[in-house]
Structure 1
Amino acid sequence: MQKQVDKTVNLDLVGVNANAFAIMGAFSRQAKREGWTKQEIDLVLDEAKTGDYDHLLATIILHCEPNDEDDE
């Protein structure tokens, strides 16, 4: 699988409701907070929706990189 956008959001999906809409919403909100354009967000979400639930989850995870503040 290839990234749709060459950047990631600081988002850990652990604890996010497993519902597909909740996952996409969490990703979208965080991406907006981090200054992603609507087009960038839509590219990721459109790709995520081209397959089944596993594809959606894999696509979103590919664009997430949680930053652990304890490591700094």
Structure 2
Amino acid sequence: MKKIIKKTVNLDLIGVNGNAFVIMGVFRRQARKEWWTQQEINLVIEEAKSSDYNYLLATIENHCEPKDDEL
């Protein structure tokens, strides 16, 4: 699966409620914290919603890259 935009957010979806609306909300909040534009967020969300739940989850996951905070 291709990325809609060439950015990721620092987000690990493990442990997040599996409800599609919760997943999109968590992604949206983190993207805003990382100064994504509303247009960038909307592009990812709209693509994620264009098919079924599995596609939504894969699209959101494709734009998440948890970063290791331990150095």
Between the aligned partners of 1:51 and 1:27, the Cα distance in structure 2 is 18
Deviation for aligned residue 1:29: 0.1
**Amino acid in the other structure paired with 2:64:** C
Task: Compute the displacement of 1:13 (Å).
Answer: 0.4
User: If the length of structure 1 is used for normalisation, what is the TM-score?
Assistant: 0.95
Matched positions, count: 71
For structure 2, the residue ranges without an aligned partner over 5 or more in a row are: none
Give 4+ residue runs of structure 1 displaced > 6 Å after superposition.
Answer: none
Question: CA RMSD for the aligned pairs?
Answer: 0.6
Partner of 1:35: 35
Identity percentage over the alignment?
63
- Post-superposition CA distance 1:23-71 (Å, at most 9, x none): 000000000000000000000000000010000000000000001212x
Q: State the distance in 2 between where 1:49 and 1:42 align.
A: 10
Separation in 2 of the partners of 1:59 and 1:51? 10
The residue aligned with 2:10 is 10
CA distance in 2, matches of 1:66, 1:25: 17
